[in-house]
């Protein structure tokens, strides 16, 4: 069996399993909207649900339309990535890993949307309660130094995006 299929059969279910396991542990251990400080002021384990996409985009869209939109986007991504995956050479290393990470991440967040209508997020990174404030064009801008909560599936997709970028800059495309 070639590397690309081994990657698919190992990485995709592993990401899905770790994503679902960690979300289950959080839901069992932390009340909704609760948090457990890990590195006080910098990193917490929280229990939140995100009805939108990255950074809460589309969260204000009507629930029925929003869910259908995310289901369609997930299906299109799977179809496109499957077509790309099928064309990869058997020597490819980087892209099979990246696409397998995306498949696992999509599956984890897709199951959350089916079960809860939202994605469970639990990793919260921030810099204490610090915020940058300034005035621009007569408006006060208040920007907290925190990253929106995320999960294992989001992390896998982010790592995959970095691998896609690295692949795009590689000299020998046949080996990506």
Q: How confident is the model over 8-19, as pLDDT tens digits? A: 999 999 999 999
Closest alpha carbon to 21 in 126, 116, 111, 148 = 111
CB atoms within 10 A of CB 53: 16
| Catalytic machinery residues | 121, 154
For residue 122, the model assigns a pLDDT of 96
- Whole-number mean pLDDT of the chain? 90
Burial 101-118 (b: 16+ CB within 10 A, else e): bbbbbbbbbbbbbeeeeb
Q: What is the Cα–Cα distance from 26 to 28, expressed in whole angstroms?
A: 5
The 3-state DSSP class for residue 51 equals coil
Q: Is residue 66 part of a domain?
A: yes
Residue 149 has pLDDT above 80, yes or no: yes
Q: Is residue 19 part of a domain?
A: yes
Q: Is residue 174 part of a domain?
A: no
Q: Is residue 117 part of a domain?
A: yes
Q: Is residue 64 part of a domain?
A: yes
For residue 171, the model assigns a pLDDT of 62
Q: What is the Cα–Cα distance from 41 to 125, expressed in whole angstroms?
A: 9
pLDDT band with cut points at 50, 70 and 90 for residue 175? low
For residue 88, the model assigns a pLDDT of 93
pLDDT band with cut points at 50, 70 and 90 for residue 145? confident
For tokens 């897709």, the residue is 110
Distances (CA, A) of 163 to 42, 74, 93, 95, 166: 27, 20, 10, 7, 5
Question: How many structural domains does the chain have?
Answer: 1
* Choice between 63 and 94, residue whose per-residue pLDDT is larger: 94
For residue 150, the model assigns a pLDDT of 95
For residue 173, the model assigns a pLDDT of 55
Q: Is pTM, for the whole model, over 0.75?
A: yes
Half-sphere exposure for 28 (CA within 13 Å, toward CB): 6
- Domain membership of residue 145 as a residue range: 3-169
Q: Is residue 175 part of a domain?
A: no
pLDDT band with cut points at 50, 70 and 90 for residue 112? very high
Helix axes 94-116, 63-87, angle to 10 degrees: 160
- pLDDT tens across 27-77, in order? 999 999 999 999 988 999 999 999 887 766 677 777 778 888 889 999 999
Give the end-to-end CA distance of the chain in Å, rounded to a whole number.
18
- 95, 88 in Cβ contact below 8 A? yes
For residue 129, the model assigns a pLDDT of 76
């Amino acid at each position: 069996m070639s590397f690309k299929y081994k990657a698919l059969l190992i990485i995709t279910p592993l990401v899905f399993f770790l994503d679902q396991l960690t979300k289950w542990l959080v839901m069992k251990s932390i009340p909704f909207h609760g948090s457990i400080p890990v590195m006080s002021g910098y990193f917490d384990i929280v229990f939140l649900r995100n009805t939108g996409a990255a950074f809460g985009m589309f969260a204000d869209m009507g629930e029925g339309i929003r869910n259908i939109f995310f289901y369609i986007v997930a299906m299109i991504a799977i179809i496109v990535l499957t077509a790309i995956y099928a064309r990869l050479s058997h020597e490819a290393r980087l892209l099979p890993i990246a696409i397998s990470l995306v498949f696992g991440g999509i599956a984890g967040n897709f199951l959350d949307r089916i079960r809860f209508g939202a994605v469970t997020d639990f990793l919260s990174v921030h810099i204490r309660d610090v915020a940058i404030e300034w005035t621009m064009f007569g408006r006060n801008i208040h920007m907290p130094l925190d990253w929106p909560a995320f999960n294992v599936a989001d992390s896998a997709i982010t790592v995959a995006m970095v691998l896609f970028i690295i692949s795009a800059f590689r000299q020998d495309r046949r080996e990506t």
